Amino acid sequence: MNSAKAKPRIAWWHRFGPAEQTELFHALPLVFEKLAKDYEVHFYGGKSRRPIPESITRHAIIHELPFYTDRSSPFDIKFKFLIYMVWFPFMALHCRFKRMQLVHIDESVPLFGILMWIFYGGRISLTVADFYSDIYLQKNALTKFVGKILLGLDLFSWKKLALIITRAHSTKQYLVEIGFDPDRIMPIYDPGDFDLYQPLNRSECKRQFGYDDSHFVMVCHGILHPNKGVDRLIRATAEIKDRFPKLRLLVAGDGNERPKLMALTSELGAEQMIRFTGWLAGSRDMNRAINAGDLGVIMRVGYKSDHFHITGGLVHNMCAAIPVLAPRLRGMQEIIQEAETGFLFDPSDMEEYKQQVARLIEDAPLRERVARQSHALARSMFTNERIATITAETLTRAAEGKLPTSSLPR
């Protein structure tokens, strides 16, 4: 007991509860297990409605905020975020009182860096994945102006961090181009949980979603954010429905955009071709939806920050051995080699998208070969063990005031 109390402390922050964050970052329980060998690990975040993984409860002290965030409700996410911001200074002060060696915030929500410098002031690590101002503040000139101010403040505060973890090499490249210290940035890809996302019987999964083996099903899954450009995907897919009457698009997930997308589908007369699942209860349900597909489709509109993503959707499809058609963006191209580990198209040229779809409908052997190769690549790159080991070692070095040992191999 005394030796445990003597351990230095590391804090891990996220808005969602530990069970919900594990659904987003599957390696989290294993990261905590590895960190707990040398550190007293503290998790700060919301309540969990789902059972918290035993490895987290055994290896971390959990500081739960008095609210739960419903990830299926865009309104609840926004409302609870405001409540989270009220609690933010108190959590930071608590970490200062506890003399944390390092506080790692596993998201890059605007102003987090500035607030941590004001209320905590110690070693800070941040995961930079989403650029929220680029995703949500593109509606008009005023919101774009506000977004630029927020991003400028973030970039100013991020330069002072002990460590930045990115989810793609392209993000690091961008930050270095604008003056960041490359030695303080560590690209670590998102993990894939092969117990959750894995190949299933495709015929059975198709029947579950109302299809049969005669249908060529494309699946686009995830939170329906504005920058995902699913409206472009729907329009382009509907334009070839007469040429390919058995083509279907399954949009699995929910978000602010779903009512607009459903209205667009109706306007195009494509209700029979395009189906929306709404929110799916868990990762296993999402895995069944993915496995209903002959092709996984990822879409982005092509904003600057879209180049900095290797999406969870890409990793999930690769784990499930589903071939992927994705936008030709810098992050995606770190993983996808055309006709080797996936297929690419210009997100601003939906004619190329339609050509790729036509090609893939007609070439089943090509799809199957690429699916096998991408699955093998995922097995070598995205395992929980590999990502957890790199993450824990990187955070440990940051807590000791050291730089990362190397960059994650491509």
In the block, tokens 């770190």 appear at 334
Q: Are 332 and 309 in contact (CB under 8 A)?
A: yes
pLDDT at 3: 46
CATH class of 202-381: alpha beta
d(CA 40, CA 135): 36
> For 200-234, what is the HEC assignment?
CCHHHHHHHCCCCCCCEEEEEECCCCHHHCHHHHH
Considering only CA atoms, which of 290, 300, 307, 317 is closest in space to residue 377? 317
pLDDT at 137: 65
- Expressed in percent and rounded to 5, the helix, strand and coil fractions of the chain are 50, 15, 35
pLDDT at 130: 78
pLDDT at 1 over 80: no
pLDDT at 5: 60
Q: Are 83 and 67 in contact (CB under 8 A)?
A: yes
Q: How many residues does the chain have?
A: 410
Please indicate whether the domains covering 2-191+383-399 and 202-381 agree at the CATH topology level: yes
Per-residue pLDDT averaged across 9-25, rounded?
Answer: 95
Per-residue pLDDT averaged across 28-33, rounded?
Answer: 98
- The region, left, alpha or beta by phi > 0 then psi within -120 to 50, assigned to residue 346 is beta
pLDDT at 4: 47
- pLDDT more than 90, % of the chain: 78
Longest dimension (CA), the chain: 72
Give the tens place of pLDDT for each residue, 299-324: 998 888 788 888 889 999 999 999 99
Give the tens place of pLDDT for each residue, 59-80: 999 999 999 998 878 789 889 9
Distances (CA, A) of 58 to 41, 103, 198, 370: 10, 20, 27, 40
Give the pLDDT band of residue 2 (cuts 50, 70, 90). very low
Give the tens place of pLDDT for each residue, 123-175: 999 999 877 776 666 677 887 788 788 888 999 999 989 999 999 999 999 99
d(CA 5, CA 40): 8
Q: Are 47 and 64 in contact (CB under 8 A)?
A: yes
Give the tens place of pLDDT for each residue, 177-198: 999 999 999 999 999 999 999 9
Give the tens place of pLDDT for each residue, 221-232: 988 887 789 999
Distances (CA, A) of 321 to 176, 210, 290, 301, 324: 34, 21, 10, 25, 9
Helix (H, G, I), strand (E, B), or coil: what is residue 297? strand
Per-residue pLDDT averaged across 263-271, rounded?
Answer: 96
Per-residue pLDDT averaged across 250-267, rounded?
Answer: 94
Torsion of CA 394, 313, 151, 18, to 10 degrees: -60
pLDDT at 109: 84
Considering only CA atoms, which of 97, 107, 132, 93 is closest in space to residue 46? 107
For residues 126-142, b (16+ Cβ closer than 10 Å) or e, as one string?
bbbbbbbbbbbbeeeee
- The region, left, alpha or beta by phi > 0 then psi within -120 to 50, assigned to residue 196 is alpha
d(CA 205, CA 260): 27
Give the range among 112-121, 135-144, 351-360, 389-398 with minimum mean pLDDT: 135-144
d(CA 226, CA 134): 10
Task: Give me the chain's average pLDDT, please.
Answer: 92
CATH 3.40.50.2000 fits 2-191+383-399, yes or no: yes
Per-residue pLDDT averaged across 21-40, rounded?
Answer: 96
Per-domain residue ranges for the chain? 2-191+383-399, 202-381
pLDDT at 235 over 50: yes
pTM for this structure? 0.91
Give the pLDDT band of residue 16 (cuts 50, 70, 90). very high
Residue 295 CA, chain-centre distance (Å), reads 20
pLDDT at 138: 67
pLDDT at 256: 84
pLDDT at 29 over 50: yes
Instruction: Name the strands in the sheet holding 163-166, side by side, starting at the edge strand that comes first in the sequence.
Output: 60-64, 40-45, 9-13, 102-105, 124-128, 163-166, 185-187
